[in-house]
Amino acid sequence: MKVMINRSTVTLIEGDITKEETDAIVNAANSGLRGGGGVDGAIHRAGGPAIMEECRQIGHCQTGHAVITTGGKLKAKFVIHTVGPVYMGGDKGEAELLACAYRESMKIASKKKLKSISFPAISAGVYGYPLHEAARIALSTIISYLKEYKDIEKVRLVLFDKKTYDGFKEELKKLL
């Protein structure tokens, strides 16, 4: 599914983010930037050790913040590592922290003058965020950023399975 927001496109696809050819891909990292399972493990496996070495030098990233490294062996030139919240019932500021993770990632992309960026479904795996809520926050944050700043031309949400893709698609339709 693809929609236009001003001059930018937002595309939902079912797929593997490590294969993306956008200027940057976003990693759903942990605050120690130490790698792990899920999309984080997949990105480090595909990108090779150079990314982890840069992460080690950066050291840490707070929840809701983002840092950038090169893309190592990936096709994407950069990896933006952001840390989404662990879902703990929804009354611990999770929604704002998740929105912040998307916003900060886009701000870093803008600052680096990148034109395209791919996101996974941050916090919607091991961190336990309910899919539809996570999708609504992701999409509304991306859309409001693109309405305000026009520099990023292409945003792709790369969803790993059909259930996640369908959840994002339903929420995107509701937002339009």
Catalytic residues: 40
Q: Which of 8, 12, 18, 137 binds ligand ADP (CB under 6 A)?
A: 18
Which residue type is seen at 127?
Answer: Y
Which of 115, 155, 173, 174 is CA-nearest to residue 13? Answer: 155
Helix (H, G, I), strand (E, B) or coil at 21: coil
Q: Which of 164, 167, 168, 172 binds ligand ADP (CB under 6 A)?
A: 164
Cα distance between residue 163 and residue 133, in whole Å: 14
> Would you say 39 or 155 has its CB closer to ligand ADP?
39
Q: Provide the minimum distance between the beta carbon of 111 and ligand ADP in the complex, in angstroms, as a whole number.
A: 23
> Would you say 6 or 31 has its CB closer to ligand ADP?
31
Q: Provide the minimum distance between the beta carbon of 147 and ligand ADP in the complex, in angstroms, as a whole number.
A: 25
Label residues 18-37 b or e (16+ Cβ within 10 Å = b): bebebbbbbbbbbeebebee
80 binds ligand ADP (CB under 6 A): no
Cα distance between residue 110 and residue 91, in whole Å: 31
**Looking only at residues 101 through 160 of this chain, which bind ligand ADP when binding is defined by CB under 6 A?**
120-127, 158, 160
24 binds ligand ADP (CB under 6 A): no
Q: Provide the minimum distance between the beta carbon of 148 and ligand ADP in the complex, in angstroms, as a whole number.
A: 25
The residues that touch ligand ADP, with contacts defined as CB under 6 A, are: 16-18, 28, 38-40, 42, 84, 120-127, 158, 160, 164
